[in-house]
Structure 1
């Protein structure tokens, strides 16, 4: 045993001596130049296509929701209604984002979730309770929006969610509270000027988003790179791991506000009508939320919220015209 320890000590000394150069400087075994920057967790290249619906998709007007049926006073929700269940629970549970600047993001100064979408959530809470703060925010990814509603994990989802006929199969939507359009974001040094120049190049979008499907339909389809959050796309663009990000111009405007070294290019090539997601069975909640949206637009609250979050980044727009199917 003693002999073995001496051999081990001698070997260690020999290795230490060999590791020193003639100049006395240690050998650097790391080759920084060849190291690749790590990608965000959960990156999927060319994910399988999905319609977002579990059944055959009927034709519809995805922007048309259910007509409001009156707005009861706060704290006086009708017995047996979805809203009364929420009132008795004492809080509204809302699926939101915390990574999309301007719409749903965590404010580093207050450590609270804020944004244009979050204002819509607080309006609904105020209508039920008389208190906009009686909300439990549940942070979810784009891909988790519909499952969260189907499983009853949330009462509503307000997360830059485009209303489509495919999604109407699985959930209900409120009337449209904002209309965006898909565009392209690139580094300021890039020569790309639009979606038609992205063929064969890596382009980032989130899992479960309509943006991925629209990229596949492009005349020059890119290599789709799917991530969990839009902040992951901005990071990959900054690190040169993708040539572009493509999604709604409002989301891209938030990225530009965070990084002046990127730019939006090309015209809108889609229309993205945002609706509030609601479980399929809760028809009364759809009508209630639409009454809240009507009040928000008519009272000027919508315009105030838009001015706070979006006017500087996107420009002035009028509130959408609420549309109903019944």
Structure 2
């Protein structure tokens, strides 16, 4: 039971509280530590560079070559799990896993499925084909996620056995590493906002255009009749973000990568024809020629068995790409 004295005491406290709050508020008549807003610009992705140096291979003199011509397979493939002694493939088999440098940000080619957290895409299928040929198990892979700029160094340092990351074979890159036969041919194009009046690369002069560090796309943009101001980022997904935020007028790279952007965002569009040819090869350390011949045998087998076509239909057919025809292998020996 609450007594009359207790009621009067509680009422006094209740009356005192508002008075205390008013007193506290009147101690200072103005806000403290006001934030000064100097810009409403949206933040840029980390690592953005404007007009970066071009780094697509060796700085030494580059001998002429056919960049799409690789080393011929050395006869039929050995049975999975029975790699010949003394070979690069036997070393990988004994280790128990293939180490592959891949992307996780390029939709349709190498990306992380947000539902399963698994790496998927056309390039990932090529890795799984190689693992299946060595082990009889396509899942025996250790994926190492790398950026475009890290691809060659990862191979030269022996951090990975192969790189399968939308990598164009060029004569400059052949100086530093080996490539498999071409497993896909792309071509550079342009993506812009759907409301943009830009219709091709010839209209990019002086405009800010996004490309990935270490890609051949940067040099090709600089060779355009009307060169743009190149904005370089670590990953292609950063380019899409900058385009969405209005920080660049366009993104330019291989149409395969751009098709993935269009599939992700209906507010952007592909414009203009291809203005380059980009033969994709699997990167392999320079000293491992036996691995080059083995991987080329795997690629021939994937075409013959239909796994290349099935992979294309699953990933690239949905993006409206060219007809599902694997490129004919070319060999230099």
TM-score norm. by structure 2 comes to: 0.90
Look up the match of 2:13: none
Partner of 1:50: 55
Tell me whether 1:196 sits opposite 2:208 in the alignment. Answer: no
Deviation at 1:87, TM superposition (A): 0.2
Match of 1:111 in 2: 117
SS at match of 1:18: coil
Alpha-carbon contact 1:94-1:157 (below 8 Å) kept: yes
Contact 1:54 1:169 in 2 (8 A): no
1:55 deviates by 2.1
Picking from 306, 320, 326, the partner of 1:319 is 326
Is residue 258 of structure 1 aligned with residue 264 of structure 2?
A: yes
The 2-side partners of 1:16 and 1:263 are apart by 55
Aligned-residue offset at 1:16: 3.1
Question: Aligned-pair distance for 1:195?
Answer: 0.3
- Provide the rounded CA distance (Å) in 2 between the counterparts of 1:239 and 1:100: 19
Structure 2 residue 89 is the aligned partner of structure 1 residue 83:
yes
Q: 2:220 aligns with which of 185, 204, 214?
A: 214
Correspondences of 1:1-326 after superposition (within 5 Å)? 16-19=28-31, 29=35, 31=37, 34-69=39-74, 70-313=76-319, 314-326=321-333
Conservation of the 8 A alpha-carbon contact between 2:101 and 2:151: yes
Cα deviation, 1:46-101, whole Å, max 9, x if unaligned, reads 00233521421000000000000130000100100000000000000000000000
Q: Secondary structure at the residue paired with 2:133?
A: helix
- The structure-2 alpha-carbon separation of the partners of 1:191 and 1:175, relative to structure 1 and needing over 3 Å to count, comes to same
| More divergent stretch after superposition (219-228 vs 49-58) | 49-58
SS in 2 for 1:17: coil
Q: Does structure 2 conserve the Cα–Cα contact (< 8 Å) formed by 1:198 and 1:220?
A: yes
Residues of 1 paired with 2:311 and 2:193: CA distance?
A: 30
Q: Gaps spanning 5+ residues in structure 1: where?
A: 1-11, 21-26
What is the total number of aligned residue pairs between the two structures?
A: 308
- Unaligned 5+ segments in structure 2 are 1-23
**Distance of aligned partners of 1:248 and 1:19 in 2 relative to their CA distance in 1, 3 Å threshold:** same
The alignment's C-alpha RMSD in Å is 1.6
Q: Answer with 128-137 or 316-325: which moved more.
A: 316-325
2:313, 2:324 within 8 Å by CA — same for their partners in 1? no
Is contact 1:205–1:227 with CA below 8 Å preserved after alignment? yes
Q: Which residue of 2 aligns with 1:3?
A: none
Superposed structure 1 runs of 4+ greater than 4 Å apart: 12-15, 27-32
